[in-house]
Amino acid sequence: MKSLVYRVRLAAALVIATAVIVLSGLAVSHAEIYGYQDKEGRWHFPDIKAQGEITRKMDRVRVDKDYYLASYMPLIHSASTKYGVDEALIKAIVMAESRYDRTAISRKGAVGLMQLMPETAGRFNVSNPFSPKDNIEGGVHYLKTLLTRFHNDIVLAVAAYNAGPGRVEACGGIPPIPETKQFVRRVLYYYYQFKYAQN
């Protein structure tokens, strides 16, 4: 009897040990760092001390036809050309904001593909924020003003898109707002996926 109990306990211990090793391996294999390279060739990395949390919480959405509609691509290309904004960045913001759901409405009242607040939509003459064409046009126009304001610093422009340019300027960087930090991480993550796909 004692021998049987010993064998059962040993088997249970081996199962638990194997599970720990496998899970540890998965955690290590997904431990990636996301950063960006500025126009002078220097690499920057946002606050990534919670990288493990990112790995757990982000579902690592695969950027493919299952997550956005190809019919939006000509609209994005047109706005990219008109305002001189990288298509990959536009696609990344749309993915992070609405996952290409043109009917998306946030709890704060942001609407459409690029989640325009009513005052932003009014400022950029977006008469129907649920219209993919109007929403992308207004959102990219706004993004261009932010890129210009922050000297084409993608991270600061993306942070300002979420938190507002005033807060970014007041902080001299990404505001210490969890939502904004997470938004910047998500956009950078998608941005480099789309950028890689373009090339």
Greater pLDDT, 148 or 33: 148
| Residue of 87, 97, 119, 179 with catalytic role | 97
| Residue 97 appears among annotated catalytic residues | yes
Bridge partner list, 44? 36
Length of the chain as a residue count: 199
pLDDT over 70 (residue 164): yes
In this prediction, residue 196 has a pLDDT band, given cuts at 50, 70 and 90, of confident
Q: What is the pLDDT of residues 101-152, one digit of tens each?
A: 999 999 999 999 999 999 999 999 999 999 999 999 999 999 999 999 999 9
**Among 197, 8, 194, 196, which residue's Cα sits nearest to residue 88?**
194
Three-class secondary structure of residue 22 per DSSP: helix
Burial class (CB in 10 A: 0-12, 13-18, 19+), 162: buried
CATH number at residue 68: 1.10.530.10
Greater pLDDT, 8 or 140: 140
Average pLDDT over all residues of the chain: 76
Range of the domain at 20: 1-30
pLDDT over 60 (residue 192): yes
- 82 & 112 share domain: yes
pLDDT over 80 (residue 23): no
- 21 & 47 share domain: no
Three-class secondary structure of residue 125 per DSSP: coil
What is the rounded distance in angstroms from the CA atom of residue 62 to the CA atom of residue 97? 16
